[in-house]
Amino acid sequence: MSEWEKNLERKLTKKFLSPNAVRDGLTESYCVLIKKLRQKEGAFVSDSEINNATFSLVRETYRENDIHYEIPPKPVILQVDERVRKKLNVDRIQKEVPEAYLEHQRVCQELLDRMDS
């Protein structure tokens, strides 16, 4: 089990999550999804490369849109998530690894449902 999956498992045991925990959880779930896609493609990419690239992409998306990264409200998290989905071409990922995509969607929804608003 990857560090991302362990972090997500811990987050999903909590009744309520902070905005930062949700923001990071969504990003960790994208890391898991990308890793599964790369494995299916037969490409080796280290966890640290996936982690750095994915977290950088999310931070950059916040910056590009002049959105404060710390303690984002739920509507902002959803707005940034939509932009990240487009940048990652999640529609293609969904076709390539449908089971992993469904798990990603489930985890993301659970994270959002537990957000302290």
Q: What are the 10-residue block averages of pLDDT along the chain, 117 residues in total?
A: 95 96 97 96 94 96 90 93 96 96 97 86
The pLDDT of residue 48 is 96
Judge whether 54 lies within some domain. yes
Judge whether 81 lies within some domain. yes
Judge whether 7 lies within some domain. no
The amino acid at residue 50 is: I
Residue 26, domain extent = 19-113
Judge whether 8 lies within some domain. no
Judge whether 88 lies within some domain. yes
**pTM: predicted TM-score of the whole model, two decimal places:** 0.94
Indicate the helix (H) or strand (E) that contains 111.
helix 98-113
The pLDDT of residue 83 is 96
The pLDDT of residue 68 is 86
Q: How many separate helices (H) and strands (E) can be counted in the chain? A: 6, 0
The pLDDT of residue 67 is 87
Judge whether 4 lies within some domain. no
The pLDDT of residue 65 is 86
Q: How many domains does the chain have?
A: 1
Task: Tell me the sheet residues that pair with 17.
Answer: 115
